[in-house]
Amino acid sequence: MQQFDTRVDDYIAKSAPFAQPILKHIREVVHQASPIIGETIKWGFPHFVHKGTICSMASFKAHCAFGFWKATLMKDPYQLFNEKENAMGTMGRIESLQDLPADKILTEYILEALNLDESEAKVKKVVTPKAPIEMPSDFEAALFDNPKAKQQFESFSPSHKREYLEWITTAKAEATRLKRMTTAIEWLTEGKSLNWKYQK
């Protein structure tokens, strides 16, 4: 990966006048921190990379954003990360050079991010469990009247059960809901999951 990418020059040149000195400064500090950090354009904005993505910057109509790819693994001793602000980057809205930390501090963060990249540390994905879907009383009654369908439904995994319940409860019209319940009972009686057509 090359240290400098002319597409980043083009990105900065096309940014709003207020954003250009901010982006230029961030770029300069990143490359001064380490010559092994390269740059590229991903998803339409500049990313600084080595083995993987280290950090990225972007400009918008009224602010810039700068963030670290593995911010959740970083120590953040100066409390720079602002997760509450919806500004894409981990450092919140940057509207002027004064919103950036001192170069020494920013370099410290960049080098920590580079070390994480070198170690190939993985960011843990946080999986938010889905809220349970309550069994509709009319569908419960329909299952009670069809023992084979009821037995099949109860034998399914939680995810297969959820597929049926979600399909029925998200119907916007009552006619659609009734049709889906009828189809569900039919398929369950035949031992089929909701997405049986797509399973090999």
Tens of pLDDT, residue by residue over 83-113, are 555 456 788 889 999 999 999 999 999 999 9
List pLDDT tens digits, range 180-199. Answer: 999 999 999 999 999 887 76
What does the block give as tokens for 34? 């380490």
Distance of CA 121 to the CA centre of its chain: 18
pLDDT number for residue 83: 59
Q: pLDDT at residue 18 above 80?
A: yes
pLDDT number for residue 196: 83
List pLDDT tens digits, range 55-80. Answer: 999 999 999 999 998 988 999 998 88
pLDDT number for residue 86: 46
Q: pLDDT at residue 126 above 60?
A: no
Domains of the chain, start order:
6-119 (3.90.1150.200), 137-198 (no CATH)
- Cα 165 to Cα 28, 135, 145: the distances in Å are 54, 7, 17
List pLDDT tens digits, range 130-179. Answer: 788 889 999 999 999 999 999 999 999 888 899 999 999 999 899 999 99
pLDDT number for residue 68: 93
Q: pLDDT at residue 121 above 80?
A: no
Binned at pLDDT 50, 70 and 90, residue 123 comes out as low
Three-state secondary structure readout of 21-84 = HHHHHHHHHHHHHCCCCEEEEECCEEEEECCCEEEEEEECCCCEEEEECCHHHCCCCCCCCCCC
What does the block give as tokens for 188? 């369950």
* Residue 197 DSSP code: G
pLDDT number for residue 40: 95
Helix, strand and coil percent figures for the chain, each rounded to 5: 50, 10, 40
Polymer length in residues for the chain: 200
Q: pLDDT at residue 3 above 60?
A: yes
Q: Which residue from 5, 4, 9, 33 is spatially nearest to 20, judged by alpha carbons?
A: 9
